[in-house]
């Protein structure tokens, strides 16, 4: 499946899916966010059959900031059937993301 940008109408269906979903809230003007994207792409390939990987541009989707309590970026939120099971802020390398995801698979 890979890393996908998602539209608001599809977000609820995606986080309610049978697979856990990792959301990456980012901005194109944020250096740590730009550094996070390649890591997310690698993880999306590695876990393509087990986890949905979604990126959300906060400049285009500001309505999600309050809904999910995003005040800093990058913010990564892991959902399982629409329930938030882990939320982390800041850049996370592949090893850190592997630990986070593996704990819930």
Domains of the chain (ranges plus CATH)? Answer: 3-102 (3.40.30.10)
Both tokens assigned to 59: 């400049």
- Are 94 and 44 within 8 A, CB to CB? no
The answer to whether 33 is a known catalytic residue is yes
Number of continuous H segments (helices) and E segments (strands) in the chain = 4, 5
**CA–CA separation, 96 vs 27, rounded Å?**
21
Set 27, 30, 41, 42: catalytic member:
30
Set 6, 22, 23, 33: catalytic member:
33
**CA–CA separation, 22 vs 39, rounded Å?**
13
Give the model's pLDDT for residue 87.
97
- pLDDT by 10s per residue, the chain, length 105: 578 787 666 788 888 889 999 999 999 999 999 999 999 999 999 999 999 999 999 998 888 898 899 999 999 999 999 999 999 999 999 999 999 999 998
The burial class, CB within 10 Å (0-12 / 13-18 / 19+), for 59 is exposed
């Amino acid at each position: 499946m890979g890393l996908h940008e998602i539209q608001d109408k599809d977000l609820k269906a995606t986080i309610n899916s049978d697979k856990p979903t990792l959301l990456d809230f980012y901005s194109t003007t944020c250096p740590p966010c730009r550094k996070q994207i390649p890591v997310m792409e690698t993880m999306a390939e590695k876990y393509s059959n087990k986890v949905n990987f979604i990126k959300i541009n906060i400049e285009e989707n500001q309505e999600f900031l309050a809904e999910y309590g995003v005040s800093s970026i990058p913010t990564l939120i892991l959902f399982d059937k629409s329930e938030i099971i882990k939320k982390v802020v800041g850049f996370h390398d592949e090893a850190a993301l592997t630990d986070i995801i593996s704990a819930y698979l």
